[in-house]
Structures are given as structure tokens and as C-alpha cells.
Amino acid sequence: MSDLTTKTLIDMRDALATGAVTAEAAVQACLGRVAATEPRIDALLSVQAEAALARARELDAAGPAPDKPLWGVPVIVKDVLCAKGAPTTCGSRILENFVPPFDATAVARLKDAGAIILAKANMDEFAMGSSTENSAYKVTKNPWDLSRVPGGSSGGSGAAVAACQCFATLGTDTGGSIRLPAAFCGCVGLKPSYGRVSRFGMVAYGSSLDQIGPLARTVADAAQVLSVIAGHDPRDSTSVDAPAPDYMAALKGLSGLKGLRIGLPREYWGEGVEPEILRACRTAIDAAVDAGATVVDVSLPHTRYAIATYYIVAMAEASSNLARFDGVRYGHRNRQAAELLDMYKRSRTEGFGDEVQRRIIIGTYVLSSGYYDAYYKKAAQVRRLIRQDFLDAYATCDVICGPTCPVPAFPIGGVVDDPLKMYLMDIFTISLNLAGLPGMSLPVGLGADSGLPVGLQIFGQSFKEDALLAAAHGLEALTPALPEPAGLA
Amino acid sequence: MTMTADDVARIAHLARLELTPEKAALFAPQLDQVLAYMDTLGQVDTSAVEPLYSPVEHAALTRPDEARREYSRDEVLANAPETDGQFFIVPKIV
Amino acid sequence: MAEYEAVIGLEVHAQLTTNTKLFCACPTRFGDGPNENVCPVCAGMPGVLPVMNDRALEYACKMAMAIDATINLTSIFARKNYFYPDLPKGYQISQYEQPLCEHGRVEIETAAGTKTVGVTRIHMEEDAGKNIHSSTENKSFVDLNRCGVPLIEIVSEPDMRSSEEAVAYLKELRSILVYLGVCDGNMEEGSFRCDANVSVRRKGDKNFGTRAEIKNVNSFRNVQRAIDYEIGRHIDCIEDGEAIVQETRLFDANKGVTQSMRGKEEAHDYRYFPDPDLVPVRVEPSWIERWRGELPELPAAKRERFIAKYGLPEYDAGVLTAEREVADYFEAAVGVHPEPKKIANWIMSELMRELNECGESIRGCRLRPEGLAKLVRIIDSGAISGKIGKQIFGDLFRSGEDPEAYIAAKGLAQISDAGALDAVVDEVLAACPGEVARYKAGEKKLTGFFVGQIMQKTKGQANPKLVGELLAAKLG
């Protein structure tokens, strides 16, 4: 039975499609795995076991559908995504009992493709964090070392995939929140170009930065999920009205590496990165070169301003996006308040954790009268320069590579009391969201000193996820497969 | 920019948050540190640069003016902390 | 008073008559039960996103064209952030920098002649819901049906100098909106709202005085009263050496005064920024040309045409074109019976009076233009007198009956048979020898008496002209 859960998504999908495995068996296997691992990793906020089984039985009764590429495949989605009829808490007390009457578009597309939503994954509250320690409900443990964080904010999604609780998860990425957990948990994570996947139903954090994307165990798995969720949505004005190419076909093409020009930004490969990380990433690049790729030295000179830029933009947008949590129409309301202003203040103060409150305050401040030009407008100007850095670099290379994070998964409690230090974890991931470009994190081995997974980032060009996936697929073939996560042995 | 306790209180009020003096005292230096970090943007010459507020490059999406009723009132009110089945109910403003 | 000058600017919020809200497909229909026209988007649920209604854009642009405003081919939606229960997202999607339209103008008629009032800008925004305060409990009830309905905000330059000018501007603006079919202009129901900014300065002073904003005026008459009161208040303050506070005030219609909202209102920091969920609004020049071709004849042009084509005096033209439906009614009636001045009179006096009495609009009126035109034609032909026409008007108005049929059924045809009338005149004169004698002695005014008697005997149906001729002939 446990063999089923270690399959890749593609293999599982194929087994289901031929009838070798029933949907119900797939769901039961995953639920069993959830039961076995949850006490140790706490990746999930809610499990929709009955609904999943009922859905599986429905699907089995109708039989496999060849036009549904995820028929019968159990998946888990981050609790920031609305799933109709299921609790959606965003890791926050302020939405403790919120049950949306609609599905996020990405979730609806998974369902339409035959996937079965098994559970909602833990996350940093409102996607604000890099370790999942900011969840109001529980701290997720890294399956590779239960005393360490899984990364954030999609930590539950990363841990669930690494622990084989399901075959893929949906996470969201605003400043690295898919890629960092993917790196820390040793799996593949993909952030699409801004506008590639509909944001409708994703509870907004940084609206001009947010994207939904897959975490999975292989590049092909991620490509399959992306092909289901990508595409124009008339309910999202920022979603691009261009058809998504066939990502699976892109993988079948010639090796993604021959003739591939890989840009290495000097700002990502220098000081401040743990030696074991540099070494593992360099080894992967060398293997790519052996397979026919070339390396190009590039520079992304505004990298050092990226974090400040990101946080101004993200916090400003977040402060406005979170204003709707006021206890009037849904979510937590303080019942003792006898008067409206009091009700607002107490409900929001009780409902939001410290990190969220900090970001709301900073965001409100940078937008407030007198500060807009100095902060928000200024950040938007620097944002254009950061984007231009990438566009300039792509004149001489096809993809850009660098470590996902300067350090491997850090100990739980080790960084969380130092907000600024936590923000600096995002140094390599953040620019991509500002530029709106696509990128992935790929596991390239275990660190020689820590024994923890190391992630290599690959950045692609605007709406060229097919080329990105092809390159990643090529690299994946050259890197050693990871063993089972040590923390669950 | 240095954030004083008064600044924190004023901004918290704008954001409808209530900070205890302890919390304000905890936050103020943290916020200060973050804001000081943000001030580094002052080093960048942006005199001729158009702000990029969003990566989107396409023109506005619009929809036709056709009415659709997809949600019942019950669905809309289902998560309301207080309702009489017709309205959302809140305490009055004083 | 003569040494002071009032400076008035007006902000109008007009609800657009689109089928759906500005950013979601909920119906904008009025009168449905609370929260029946609400969806996750306009209820501000987590994760929802706005998508703009293309007809709202069209309507806003048409208004811009009607007042000669420039349409910005690119404009930006911005978030206006504040907390209130009728504002689900905690921000209103509006426009701040780079609005849709700028620099328009409206011509108004004043006692001193035509005046141009500038319009600074028109922008699009979404309406808020309704917050109903309980009078018995410590509760407010929130209805989001109206939340998200498209509005255009029209901001005038501070060009007006009196409450009369302000009202003239509002009436013309409203008339244009209704003519375009983009707004139903109902002040009482709130589809046409006005805030006034008033300040006072000494005549000749180039600087503006401190201004106060007056909200909550829901009729033209109240706008006039509120502005007049406020001007007086400012002058009193200046004369008393008191500073005028820049603030928002409410007009109390019962007391006829404005009252400070101080203590209730706090300075808002709206923290405007471009809405990242919406992309810049782009208007194609080809759309503008298409829409321009669809503009109806506007009030000012129609007024001019009525004066030129129908030979109507300015006043009549003004009254008839105040409502497009009245103008259409008039033209339909004139099409049946080409006597514009007479038709105008009947509409302005009898028809308007009946409509006002029963509070109905001309659209639902049972007496159609053809019917009214027929009535006038019948009177002109002499079949009945104008007086009788007025007497029966009410019945025709309520029933919408064909006037010919009605007159025939009631036997109201005017008596124009000279022979028959002759006999009646003789009868009356014979019965009043005293009055006849007094008339012949010089009391010519007694004509009226004789006419009255004759009318009584004929139940008002005697042809007055003939009666006059017969009397003159017999009395000398």
C-alpha cells in the first residue's frame, strides 16, 4: 500500500488511467500516509477525508476519463486558496471558521481535471513568512529534520509532498514562498510568470507579486499540474489572455540542455552563501555544462535593493488587502465590543498574529500621507530597474541559475524573533516576483555538511515556462535522486 | 525615518489595530529597523524612471454588462458573525 | 452683502443605469430584498477580484463627450482606503491621479445671461452599500445591494457665484445625464447626489476664502437653501472676526441650517495607490468615435432647435426640454397637430398640473401625445370651447380616452348654430331688462354678465365668439 504514495504524480496518474489502481485506493493510501506522518510533521490544517473518499467513489463508478489528465489523483492545496465547502483559514485565527462558497479558479481546474482535493496545507499566516512558523495553528516540521523549518510560506505544501502525503500540492509564491519550501524540503517548486495562472480565489497578500504554482516530486509532475491550472481567467483582470503552450510536450523535446546558455549572476554566487550550498549548486551547473550547456557571467546589479523594494510593495498592498478582515461579514468578531470602532480594533488585533500586524503597520505607514512618494512610488521605480536587470541579462543567456537560499533549512525558533533576518532569507527569490518572471527550485542533492536538501533556482523568460521546464527537466536527469527524508525514517 | 510610539499609535489606529504599550514598545524598534532598511532605496537614482506598479503589460480586461445571479443570499450570509437572515448586523458607531 | 462674493464648487455623484455593477455581474436593480444582489466579489470575500463593466466605461465617456471633456486614453483605478461597514473591502475602487476625463464645461442660463461652468474632472468609482441604523437597539443593519453599483463623480470648477447658479448647473447636468440615458437623475432615491463646497471672499480678492463642504442635500430646493444659509454664515463669521473652519457640514432640512460634523468626522488619510488587481483602463479612439455617433441631441441643442424650428420663446423651450420625455411628447403632439405654441401651452399648464398632482411621470401618462394633439385640434376647429377643453382635460388625462369619442358621448359639442344661439341670447336679454338698460346707459362691463347667463343656459357650450358677435349686434 505504501508503495503507491511514493509514486510520482505521472506514474500514479497512469496507473489510475489504466485501472491498475482505483481512485479510492489512491485516496486511502494517501490518507494512511497522512495518518502516519502528520503526528510528526504537522503539515496540514484540515483534512477532507470523507469528501475525498466520496469523490473517489464517484469517479470510480464512472470510470477513468482519458480527457482528464489528473483523474483520481489526490492533491493538497495551501490553505490560502479557497476551496468551496472546506475551511479556508490562511493560517490565521481571523478566518478560523470561514468556509467559502466558491472555489479558487486553480482549485476548480484541478477538480475539473479529475484531481481529488485531500486536505488544506499549513502556511505562514496570510503567506507572510519564510518558515511557516507564523501559522496561528501549528508549526510544520521539515521531513528531513523534524527540528527544522520546512521553509515558508508554503511550508505545509512542501512538507506534504516530501512526506508523500499526496502527489502534488498547490502553493503560492509572493517573494519565494513556493521555491523556498521546495528547496528546504527537497522537492520541485514552480512559480509561473505573473498573470499565467489566475489569482481568483487566492486570498491576496501582495497582489502585484502573488502567483499560484505547483510543488511536486519531479519536474514532469510540476509541468502536468501547471498545464491544468495555467490559462486565462475572465474573473482575473491581471491574467493574461494568451493560451498556455503544451508543457508536457515541451518536456519531450530535445534535451533542454544542449546549447542552453545559463546565466550565473555574480550577486547570487558570492559571499554570504553557505559553502555546501555553493558546492551542490556548482556541481549541478558543471553537469549541465558537460551535457552541452554553456555558462555566461551576468549581473543583476540591483539585487541588493530587492528586499527593501519587495517589502515596501508587498506590505503596502497587504495592508490594503487585509482591510476586509473586519469582523463584519465573515471571520472572527470580538463579541464584547459594544461599539463599532472597538469591534474593528479588537477583532483585528485578536485575529491577526504579530508578523501580520507588523506588516500591516509598515504597509499603512508607507502609503500614508507624505510618505507615498518616498516609499511606494520609489519602490515602484526601483522595481522597474530590477526587472530591467533581468531583461538585460536575457540578452546573453536563456535561463538564469543560482541557489534558492543562502542557507539550508534552519532550526525552528532560530530566526523567527528577528524579523529583518527572516526577510533576508528571501534575497535570491524575491527579485523574480518583482520582475513578474517565472522560476523554479530544483533539488540538486544534499548538503555535504548538513545533510539537508539544497535547492537550485532556474529563472526563465516571460511566459516561457515551456523552455524553463525543459531546462529543469534536463538538469533533473543529471542530479542524484534524493533518498527518503531522514526525519521520517 | 524613525518611528516614535506616537507614530505607531496613529498608524495602528488608521489600520484599526490596537497595540498595548508593551506591544508598541516591542514593535517600534523592529519597525524602525525595517524602515531604515527600506531607506537604502534612497541610494538608487530613479530620476528618469517610470514606476512599475505591476508586471502586467496587457490592456484592460472588461466584461459585458450582463446580469448573473450565481449566489443565493443564504450563501452570502453564511459566514456572517451576526445576521437576521437578511442583513449583516454590526454594533452601531457611537 | 454687496462687498462679498460667494465661490461655489459642486461634486456630483451619478449612479449609472447599467444592468450590472462596476466590477461584478450582480444586477443593479433597485427594490430587491436586502443582500439579494450580492456575490463574493461585491461582498469583499477573501480571494475575489474585480473585472470592469464595459458599459460603465461607455456611459462615463459619453457624459464626457456631452460636456466637451477630454477623455484620457489611459486612466488608472486607485484604492481609497477607509473602514466602514458598508465598504466590504475596506477600500473603495475609485480613480485618483489620471482620472478618465478632464476639462469639460456646462453652459447655464442666469439672470445675467449665459455662463460657462468648468468641469475639472469625471471619474469612475464603485458605490458603497447601505448602513441602516436601528433607532431602538445598538445595531446597524448592512445591505450590500448597492455596493459596487457604478458611479461617476463629476467635479466642477469653483465657478459658481450664487445658489441660483449652482442649481442651474445641477439641473443642466442632471438633464444631460438623463438625456444620455446614463443616469435616471433621481435625487430623492439617491441616484443623483450633490455635495457643495462654499467659500466667501471680498469682491476683488484674488484668493479664495476657507471653504466648507456641505453634504446630504437631496433636492434642488435644499441645495439652494443650504448654500444660501452657508454663504450667510460665512459672511457673519467674517464680520464677527471669527475664523471659518475647513470642515464637512450637514444640511438640516427641517431647521434650514447647516451643522458641523466636527467630533464625528476625523481627517481621513485615504492612502490612495493604483489598484494592483486592475490594469490601466485604455480607451480606443475608434470607440470614442462610435460612441460620439450614438449621442442623442442634448438639452442645449434641443432648446435651440425648438426656438428656431417651432418659434417658441426661450422660456417655453426651456420648460419643454427640461425632460427629454416631455420634449419627445411635445414633438409627437406637434406632429399630429402642427400648432406648437398652443400645444406647448397645453403641456406646460394642464398636463404638467395633472402630472404634478398625481406625482406621475409623463412616461406612464395615459393621455398620449396624439390624444392631446387631437383635443387642441378640436378646440381650434370650434367644436368645443377652450374652457370646456380645460374642464374635460382631467378626465381625458386619467382615462386616455379618445377626445372625439368622449365629446360625442357627453354631448359637449359647442353650440355654434347661430340660429339656436340667437334664441338663447334673446331669452337672456329679455329676462334681464334692468341690466340691459344699465348697459345701454354705459356700463359696458355687463357684457360679462350676459355672457355668463348665456353660458349657464347652454351649460357652457355656447361658442363664445358667436355669443360675442350676437350680443354686440343686439345691444349696439
Contacts across the A-B interface (CB distance below 8 Å): 177
Looking at per-residue pLDDT, the higher value among A424 and A17 belongs to A17
Residue type, A470: A
C-alpha span between A281 and A293 (Å, rounded): 15
From the list A130, A153, A157, A347, the catalytic residue is A153
The stretch A144-158 carries a mean pLDDT of 98
Amino acid B41: pLDDT: 94
The stretch A279-296 carries a mean pLDDT of 96
Please tell me which residue of chain B has the smallest CA distance to A383.
Answer: B52
Model confidence over A360-381: pLDDT tens digits? 999 999 999 888 888 999 999 9
Chain B contact for C32, CB < 8 A?
no
Model confidence over C253-307: pLDDT tens digits? 899 999 988 655 566 899 999 999 998 999 999 999 999 999 999 999 999 999 9
Cβ <8 Å between B18 and A331 = no
Cβ <8 Å between C35 and B86 = yes
pLDDT-derived band of residue A111, with 50, 70 and 90 as boundaries? very high
Is A153 an active-site residue?
Answer: yes
Residue C345 CB contacts under 8 Å (≥ 6 apart), including other chains: none
Determine the distance in angstroms separating the CA of C74 from the nearest CA of chain A, rounded to an integer: 16
Residue keyed to cell 423651450: C317
Neighboring chain A residues of B64 at a CB cutoff of 8 Å:
none
Cβ <8 Å between B41 and A384 = no
**Per-residue CA distances from A413 to A121, A134, A140, A141, A410 (Å):** 20, 11, 12, 11, 9
Among the partner residues B31, B60, B75, nearest to A362 by beta-carbon distance: B31
Is A464 an active-site residue?
Answer: no
C260: preceding bond cis by omega (within 30 degrees):
no
Chain C contact for A425, CB < 8 A?
no
Least confident among A293-297, A299-303, A478-482: A478-482
The stretch A26-43 carries a mean pLDDT of 98
**How many other CB atoms are found less than 10 A from the CB of residue A391?**
12
Query: Does residue B58 surpass a pLDDT of 90?
Result: no
Query: Does residue C410 surpass a pLDDT of 90?
Result: no
Amino acid B21: pLDDT: 87
Does 3.90.1300.10 match the CATH number of domain A9-262+396-488?
yes
Residue C68 CB contacts under 8 Å (≥ 6 apart), including other chains: C104, C105
Beta pairing class for C52-53 and C192-202: unpaired
Is A431 an active-site residue?
Answer: no
Beta pairing class for B62-63 and C52-53: parallel
The three cell numbers locating residue C130: 447601505
Least confident among A417-426, C184-193, C204-213: A417-426
Amino acid A6: pLDDT: 94
| Predicted complex: ipTM over 0.90 | yes
Query: Does residue C422 surpass a pLDDT of 90?
Result: no
Residue B85 CB contacts under 8 Å (≥ 6 apart), including other chains: B77
Measure CA of the first residue to CA of the last residue in chain B; give whole Å.
35
Query: Does residue A55 surpass a pLDDT of 90?
Result: yes
Amino acid B80: pLDDT: 98
Cβ <8 Å between C83 and A326 = yes
Measure CA of the first residue to CA of the last residue in chain C; give whole Å.
61
Tell which of A382, A388, A421, A463 to mutate to test the B interface (max B CBs under 10 Å). Answer: A382
Neighboring chain C residues of A329 at a CB cutoff of 8 Å:
43-45, 88, 142
Going along chain C from its start, the domains and CATH numbers come out as: 4-290 (no CATH), 316-410 (no CATH), 418-475 (1.10.10.410)
Here the contacts of C206-209 (C-beta below 8 Å, separation 24 or greater) are C208/C7, C208/C158, C209/C7, C209/C234, C209/C238, C209/C244
Least confident among A75-89, B63-77, C131-145, C400-414: C400-414
Going along chain B from its start, the domains and CATH numbers come out as: 5-42 (1.10.20)
Chain C contact for A338, CB < 8 A?
yes
| Residues of chain C above pLDDT 70, percent | 98
Select, from the ranges B42-51, C363-372, C424-433, the one with the highest average predicted confidence (pLDDT): B42-51
Dihedral, CA of residue C116, residue C120, residue C121 and residue C126, to nearest 10:
-100
Cβ <8 Å between C279 and B61 = yes
Among the partner residues C45, C89, C278, nearest to A237 by beta-carbon distance: C278
Looking at per-residue pLDDT, the higher value among B88 and B28 belongs to B88
The three cell numbers locating residue C239: 464680520
Query: Does residue A392 surpass a pLDDT of 70?
Result: yes
C-alpha span between C45 and B77 (Å, rounded): 11
From the list A68, A78, A191, A464, the catalytic residue is A78
Among the partner residues C44, C50, C269, nearest to A368 by beta-carbon distance: C269
pLDDT-derived band of residue C163, with 50, 70 and 90 as boundaries? very high
**Per-residue CA distances from A223 to A121, A452, A482, C408 (Å):** 21, 25, 20, 86
Cβ <8 Å between B63 and C53 = yes
Model confidence over A157-208: pLDDT tens digits? 999 999 999 999 999 999 999 999 999 999 999 999 999 999 999 999 999 9
Among the partner residues C45, C91, C269, nearest to A100 by beta-carbon distance: C45
Between positions 169 and 208 of A, the ones with CB within 8 A of C are: 199-204, 207-208
The three cell numbers locating residue C419: 340660429
User: In three state form, how does the secondary structure of C400-424 look?
Assistant: CCCHHHHHHHHCCCCECCHHHHHHH
Select, from the ranges B5-14, B37-46, C150-159, the one with the highest average predicted confidence (pLDDT): C150-159
Neighboring chain B residues of A98 at a CB cutoff of 8 Å:
79
Amino acid C265: pLDDT: 55
pLDDT-derived band of residue B76, with 50, 70 and 90 as boundaries? very high
Amino acid C456: pLDDT: 86
**Per-residue CA distances from B78 to A53, A102, B81, C140 (Å):** 26, 12, 9, 18
Query: How do the domains of chain A map onto residue ranges?
Result: 9-262+396-488
Determine the distance in angstroms separating the CA of A345 from the nearest CA of chain B, rounded to an integer: 5
Amino acid B12: pLDDT: 94
Model confidence over C97-131: pLDDT tens digits? 999 999 999 999 888 899 999 999 999 999 999 99
Tell which of C16, C28, C35 to mutate to test the B interface (max B CBs under 10 Å). Answer: C35
Cβ <8 Å between C279 and B65 = no
Cβ <8 Å between B11 and A365 = yes
The stretch C64-89 carries a mean pLDDT of 96
Amino acid A1: pLDDT: 40
- Contact between C47 and A201 (Cβ < 8 Å): yes
